[in-house]
Amino acid sequence: MEATKIGLYLHIAGGMLGLITGFVNTLNRKGSTFHRNSGKAYVLSMFVATLSGVLLAFLKENQFLFLIGIFSFYLCFSGWRVLNYQSLQPFKAKKIDIVVASITVLFSVFMIFTGIYDIATSKIVINPVLLIFGSGGLFISVADLKKFLQSSQSIPEPLNWLYTHVARMGGSYISAVTAFIVVNITSLPPLILWLGPSLIGTIFITYSIRKLKIQNQ
């Protein structure tokens, strides 16, 4: 079996499992054993979907898919890794987090410049997406990198790890839903398909975080 087919099958399997486990995880009680186990299944499936998607992007020479894949990967990776810092006081970042954040900064800048180039060449279908996702990736990764490189004596705000976890994992799930919609729905304008889930998902994420903050006051 050729590499493209293998990558495609892995991408479909990881994506579908991610959609299912991600949805289930939004319904069960946070912090429960079931939530943690289904969360691990979600992270693993998202890694498989994202990394196989990057492989497909290389094999098919699709730069756009590759850049979006990097953005999706960082949301899931950082949302998962933040759980390792919930009990660390003072805060001290691990090297792997610094390296991955630095790489994401570089690719986010490249995504933004690619979007600008597409504007110059009138590729209006995808350049707004690259600009928006690139700017979002740059903002998140720079903020993380700044925090990682600050003094190790800094003490994080209580429960900030929880709110970051919800925001990042929610963002990665939005990416999964967006990919599914873009592939399977062709009757709507591309920008609605690409950006619609982000607008709706952001509302739900904001509501969830505010609810958590009220509960923990």
Look at residue 160 in the predicted model and tell me its pLDDT. Answer: 82
Look at residue 66 in the predicted model and tell me its pLDDT. Answer: 73
Q: Is residue 185's pLDDT more than 90?
A: no
Q: Is residue 152's pLDDT more than 60?
A: no
Look at residue 125 in the predicted model and tell me its pLDDT. Answer: 57
| Length reported for the chain | 217
Distance CA 217, CA 63 (A): 45
Distance CA 35, CA 127 (A): 37
What tens digit of pLDDT does each residue of 100-131 get? Answer: 999 999 999 988 888 887 777 765 555 677 88
For 38, other C-beta atoms within 10 Å of its C-beta total: 20
Look at residue 75 in the predicted model and tell me its pLDDT. Answer: 92
Q: Is the peptide bond before 158 cis (omega within 30 degrees of 0)?
A: no
Look at residue 193 in the predicted model and tell me its pLDDT. Answer: 85
Distance CA 208, CA 114 (A): 34
